[in-house]
């Protein structure tokens, strides 16, 4: 199931009613968003989720409207400003739920400006950070977020 998430590029789509950013995959119906309560009930912890259901950006909680916490992956946090730069996510793999470290990277963004007589390009450089497994030195998971698109690899 999660192989379908590998190599997807997620792009920022805007903000939800709660003011939190949400992302959509360019080539698939997959989303990353912050949900204050995935069940819609008080006491359900806030979290970032990766889900095949588009968020209802007019809702405050239970953004996929299923009244259930059903998704591909999640990380519990009260910080909805952006998906965490590096964190242990709970991921649904073919063999069941597993904890997986996902790290976020910032990529450079190139912009091109055209005028009547000249074309100029500028590259904004961003800091690159990588979180790796302490046991193997290899990434458990990899996501790229920042000025450019978000790229996701789940290694289940």
Q: What is the pLDDT of residues 45-77, one digit of tens each?
A: 999 999 999 999 999 999 999 999 999 999 999
CB neighbours of 129 closer than 8 A, spacing ≥ 6?
Answer: 85, 86, 103, 104, 105, 106
Taking residues 105-133, report their average pLDDT: 46
Q: How far does CA 154 lie from the centroid of its chain? A: 12
Taking residues 13-30, report their average pLDDT: 92
Q: Is the pLDDT of residue 88 over 80?
A: yes
Taking residues 99-111, report their average pLDDT: 65
Alpha-helix residue ranges (DSSP H) falling in the chain: none
| Token output for 48 | 């970032």
Residue 69 · residue 61 · CB < 8 Å:
no
Q: pLDDT over 70 for what percent of the chain?
A: 61
| Token output for 149 | 């698109």
Tell me the HSE value of 1 on the side-chain side, using a 13 A CA sphere: 14
9-30 as b/e: b if 16+ CB within 10 A: bbebbeebebebbbbbbeeeeb
Residue 37 · residue 20 · CB < 8 Å:
no
Q: What are phi and psi of 104, to 5 degrees?
A: -110, 145
Radius of gyration of the chain (CA): 17
Confidence of residue 86 (pLDDT cuts 50, 70, 90): confident
Q: Is the pLDDT of residue 123 over 50?
A: no
Q: What are phi and psi of 4, to 5 degrees?
A: -65, -15
| Token output for 55 | 């968020």
What's the whole-model pTM score? 0.73
Q: Is the pLDDT of residue 85 over 90?
A: no
């Amino acid at each position: 199931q999660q192989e379908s998430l590998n190599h997807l590029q997620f792009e920022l789509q805007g903000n939800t009613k709660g003011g939190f950013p949400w992302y959509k995959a360019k080539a698939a119906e997959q989303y990353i968003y912050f949900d204050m309560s995935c069940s819609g009930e008080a006491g359900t912890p806030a979290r970032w989720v990766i889900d095949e259901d588009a968020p209802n950006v007019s809702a405050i909680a239970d953004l996929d409207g299923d009244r259930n916490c059903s998704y591909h992956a999640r990380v519990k946090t009260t910080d909805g400003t952006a998906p965490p730069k590096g964190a242990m996510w709970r991921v649904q793999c073919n063999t069941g739920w597993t904890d997986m470290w996902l790290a976020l990277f910032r990529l450079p963004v190139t912009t091109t400006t055209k005028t009547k007589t000249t074309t100029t390009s500028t590259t904004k450089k961003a800091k690159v950070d990588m979180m790796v497994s302490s046991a193997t030195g290899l990434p458990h998971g990899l996501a790229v977020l920042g000025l450019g698109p978000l790229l996701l690899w789940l290694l289940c």
